[in-house]
Amino acid sequence: MTASLPVTVLGGTGYVAGELLRLISDHPRLHLGAAVSTSQAGKPVAASFGHLAGIYPDAVFVSVDDAVNRVAETADGVVVSAAPHGASADLVDKLLNAAEAAGTGLTIVDASADFRYADSGSFEAVYKQPHEAPNRLDSFRCAVPEHLDEIDTPHAAQPGCFATTMLLGIVPLLAMNLCEPKFFVSAITGSTGAGRTPRDTTHHPFRQSNLFAYKPLAHRHQPEVVTLARNATNKEPVLHFVPQSGPFARGIHATIFAPAKPGVGATEIEAALTDYYSKSVFVSVAAVPPKLKDIVGTNNAVLSVAADDESIVIFSVLDNLVKGAAGGAIQWVNRLRGWPDAEGLRVAPAGWI
């Protein structure tokens, strides 16, 4: 067992950052070095995350400058960014500059959108703003961990939560030629996917007992999924995606439709998916459609299959804050440091929540 490494968490007061703090607290090789918040510097972590008060009773948020100094003074460390897209790249660049100037080691995983594309033009086309650290893009690789056996960069980026949910079903179908490369997806997400800052559509009286689509066929994760599926398979998919907001806090349930190939039925596809993910600790294939309560609070994802003569349906469920964000990011930390994927991430589902 190597010595425990300090983790700097960027975007400290958001939901994903809170999940990172929770997961780090139970990781045998990591401990919290600094939780960074520009708006809450000097204030207790427990004031933003009451459920973590017993774990971090004395921790306070620190400023960016403080985090930069700590990185320069620490021989080896980890940074996981849950900062908003557009802000994360600049923060990451500052920390890398400090580490490089001091000659210290630093492993970074970005859970924002800033390092999901290999070039700044692709990022700018989707997010309509300039990339703040284009010189750093070639030191990051973005993928679902299960879809990249070996990473050739020092840092990694975790795909978005919707993207991860879809890619888990789409990539093996493409890779093994199990369907025509055209996908139609309807996916429902919990309210935590909208972030911590309240908006009209996340206000409880509006969200509870409600279900509605938003940004149909125009969501920013659509080009991300196409790009990452192409990177994983060297094949060009077509994707039509309708995201929907559900009346629950956590989880994503995606229904993925694709045109069937002659003679390829549910039994063959289920066996192929099971084989594809046979080495994965966190992705499993079920005989019946999965339920959100089977995975909420964990880094697990569950797939299942239905098919007839003309169409294939893949159901894919995961926790948007864990496997779709914080848990996936910690999985990448494990991978980059040469540790088992499951290190610190085996959590039993709560079940009745």
Token digits for 288?
A: 């019946």
Give the strands of the sheet with 311-318, arranged side by side.
212-213, 238-245, 182-189, 252-259, 311-318, 301-307, 283-285
Active site residue 142: no
Contacts of 191 (CB under 8 A, 6+ apart): 202, 207, 245, 246, 247, 248, 249
Token digits for 101?
A: 């100037």
* Rounded distance between C-alpha atoms, residue 291 and residue 258, angstroms: 21
Token digits for 327?
A: 């848990």
Out of 35, 62, 113, 161, the active site residue is: 161
Distances (CA, A) of 81 to 34, 91, 154, 187: 12, 9, 15, 25
Q: Which of 344, 260, 347 is nearest to 1 (CA)?
A: 344
Distances (CA, A) of 343 to 23, 29, 232, 321: 10, 8, 24, 18
* Rounded distance between C-alpha atoms, residue 147 and residue 205, angstroms: 39
Catalytic residues: 161
